[in-house]
Amino acid sequence: MYSIGDLSRRTGVKIPTIRYYEQMGLIAAPERSEGNQRRYEKSELERLAFIRHARDLGLSIDSIRDLLALSQHPERPCGEADRIATEHLATVREKIAQLKKLEQELERIVACDGNHTVGDCYVIQALADHSMCDSEH
């Protein structure tokens, strides 16, 4: 049996976050001690580690809920799990592409750095005038 603090230390998930996950239905409400404190079994530790890992990979709470539900049914085909992961990968790739565009634009803006005044500051001019941009964003 683990207290919520034990669970937190072992998984690296902060205590209020664990309670939040309980509220959100990612983990079940655990047994309580006589004094109403949460007492967890080892299986909850593993479940929380799963959640933590998935969150680190950027999966949404909703996706994680779906994956957890799937993992309760080892006999079913796992196309759904593959789909969730593949979709997420696509999202990540899109984000990277978009950020790279931003990076280029910002590089261009910052490149004209120097010792001058706001009046002829390229950063501020570029922000004021979209037509100075190379690409859409």
Partner DNA sequence: TCTATTGCTCCAGAAGCTATAGGTTTTGAG
Partner DNA sequence: CTCAAAACCTATAGCTTCTGGAGCAATAGA
Q: Return residues touching DNA (CB under 7 A).
A: 3-6, 8, 14-17, 19-20, 33-38, 55, 60-62
Q: Give least dist CB 76 to DNA, A.
A: 24
> Segment near a second copy (CB under 8 A), from 15-23, 24-32, 35-43, 73-81?
73-81
Contact 120, 92 (CB under 8 A): no
Of 21, 24, 73, residue with least CA distance to 47: 21
Of 15, 22, 50, 66, the residue at the interface with a second copy (CB under 8 A) is 50
Q: Is 90 helix (H, G, I), strand (E, B) or coil?
A: helix
Alpha-carbon gap, residue 18 to 24, rounded angstroms: 10
Neighbours of 61 (CB within 10 A): 15
The C-alpha R_g of the chain, in whole angstroms, comes to: 23
Instruction: Kindly tell me which of 69 and 112 has the beta carbon lying closer to DNA.
Output: 69
Minimum distance from CB of 49 to DNA (Å)?
Answer: 14
* Residue 35: half-sphere exposure toward Cβ, Cα within 13 Å: 2
Q: Does 102 bind a second copy (CB under 8 A)?
A: yes
| Contact between 123 and 92 (Cβ < 8 Å) | no
Residues lying near a second copy in the complex (CB under 8 A): 46, 49-50, 53-54, 56-58, 67, 70-71, 73-78, 81-82, 84-86, 88-89, 92-93, 95-96, 99-100, 102-103, 105-107, 109-110, 113, 115-119, 121, 123-124, 127-128, 130, 137
